[in-house]
Amino acid sequence: MQSKTNATKEDIFRDLPVPTALRKMIVPAIASQLIVLIYNMADTFFVGQTNNPYMVAGTSLILPVFNITLCFAGLAGIGGGSLISRLLGQSQKDEARRVSAFSLYLALLIAAIFSISIAIFMQPILTLLGAGENTYEYAKQYTTFVIVLGGVPTVLSNVLSNLIRSIGLSKEASAGIILGGLLNIALDPLFMFVLLPKGYEVMGAGIATCISNCVALLFFIIVILRLKKGAVITFSLKTGFPNRRNIISIFGVGVPSAITSLLFDLDYVIIDKLMVSYHDLALAAIGIVLKIERFPLNVGIGICQGMMPLVAYNYAAGNEKRMNDTIKLSCILGLVIAGISIILYEIFSVQFSGLFIEDAQTVKLASDFLRVRVLATPLMFLSFFTVYLFQAFGKGRISLFLGMTRWLVFNIPMLFILNAIVGMYGIVWSQVTADILTVTLSFVVFLKCKPKMEKNR
């Protein structure tokens, strides 16, 4: 069984028909993305059942810090994973093993330093984030278990998921994330309402999240230990360091990925800040819409995650036809799903909005916002699809340029411009307007840079 596991990955990258290979890579990735989306809402949902606004606020304050840990995971996981797939395409298995070990210990080091720093400077950091007299203790409880104690397993489990997927084991890569997500959903009410006394619900949510991430990490460790000796993904320090060029390549792709993720979160923060200047119903409505629109977007991200190792491998192997077939089929699939989401959200916007709140005014406002925001779904998919492609090619500078241009030149400025000109609905229309410009730029850059990629192989 172990030998079969290691042999199959080459079949997926090199021999299986492209639709079959994509299905094996993409379906598990999409499933894990949807579970991640659901379990990210779980803590908020269960804490909300306490009807204590201070508890809800205390947990919400930590979101920017938690997102930073995921950015660290992207730095080592996407940077290392993309490179591993390319090295396998060039038949450099030993160097791929060195990159694997380096990426894992890089993630461990960064996550440990970050968690320790949060522990030491927790009070000023929470105060800076807005924790006050009524919310500080809840924010502290949640931070202690999710970031200080849970930061390392969170980062490592996400990095391992990316690295395992990079060698073709998409099912295993997704299974660990799904396991952690489902366990978190199950443990939240157990710790919050059964095991811990009343008043400690936030602590219970934090403990549940920490345990679920530790279990996910343990699952990935078992997967690696079950691989045959000499497997690409390894913890062994005996492999040595990768060469300098490949270390630079890890950061060259990983850092842009981390920065782009941070800017994505910044965009959401600014939307909330602008909406709150109108009225509470507008803030509640856009909050609902930002959650609903994540479903097709997370499916698109799953498509990109499953596609990237296939493209990276065949790019490095010089198999241009298989690479292009993979790109085209992935792009078509993502656009079809985006189109379906537009139809469903336009028709059932009121029903989808009503799942999150019963207030008629808020539902009406959220459904109006959703009908506009969903029009940007195919554009948003094409935007990050292009960024993932350049990460697969190892072109970190280009992916950084596209990511920073999208958020700092188009999206975020457009929020302020249309808000000033149109008002509240200008904020809602900003995504469509900005991403038309982003997709146009991405298309031009892709056409311009593709001939260079062919020469480099």
* pLDDT single digits (tens) 37-74: 777 777 667 776 776 767 776 777 777 788 788 888 88
Give 389's contacts (C-beta < 8 A, 6+ positions apart): 308, 311, 327, 446
| Residues belonging to the chain | 457
Tokens of 209: 């999240």
CB atoms within 10 A of CB 236: 12
Same-domain pairing of 183 and 327 = no
What domain range is 340 assigned to? 263-457
Residue type, 218: L
Same-domain pairing of 159 and 273 = no
Per-residue pLDDT of the chain (457 residues; tens, 9 = 90+): 344 444 336 678 878 888 998 888 888 888 888 887 777 777 667 776 776 767 776 777 777 788 788 888 888 888 888 888 888 888 888 898 999 999 999 999 999 999 999 999 988 888 877 777 777 888 889 899 989 999 899 999 989 988 998 888 888 888 888 898 889 889 988 998 899 888 888 899 899 989 999 999 999 999 988 887 778 888 888 888 888 888 888 888 888 888 888 888 788 778 877 877 787 677 777 777 887 888 898 899 889 988 988 998 888 888 888 999 999 999 999 999 999 999 999 999 888 888 766 678 878 888 999 999 999 999 999 998 998 898 888 888 888 898 889 889 999 999 999 999 988 899 999 999 999 999 999 999 988 876 444 444 4
CA–CA gap between residue 25 and residue 333 (Å, rounded) = 13
Same-domain pairing of 59 and 198 = yes
Same-domain pairing of 317 and 192 = no
Q: In total, how many domains does the chain have?
A: 2
Please give the pLDDT value at position 211.
94
Confirm whether 326 is domain-assigned: yes
Q: Burial level of 197, CB count in 10 A (0-12/13-18/19+)?
A: exposed
Same-domain pairing of 237 and 271 = no
CA–CA gap between residue 94 and residue 441 (Å, rounded) = 38
Q: Helices marked H in 11-48 — which ranges?
A: 18-48
CB 49 within 8 A of CB 204: no
Same-domain pairing of 210 and 290 = no
pTM of the model: 0.81
pLDDT tens digits, one per residue of 410-452: 999 999 999 999 888 999 999 999 999 999 999 999 888 764 4
To 10 degrees, what angle do helices 93-120 and 122-129 make? 80
For the chain, report the end-to-end CA distance as a whole number of angstroms.
34
CA separation, residue 351 to residues 65, 281, 346, 363, 418 (Å):
33, 18, 10, 9, 28
Same-domain pairing of 277 and 138 = no
CB 293 within 8 A of CB 274: no
Q: Burial level of 110, CB count in 10 A (0-12/13-18/19+)?
A: buried
Please give the pLDDT value at position 145.
92
Same-domain pairing of 223 and 110 = yes
Structure-token match 């479903």, residue found: 295
Please give the pLDDT value at position 332.
95
Residue of 112, 110, 133 lying closest to 123 (CA atoms) = 133
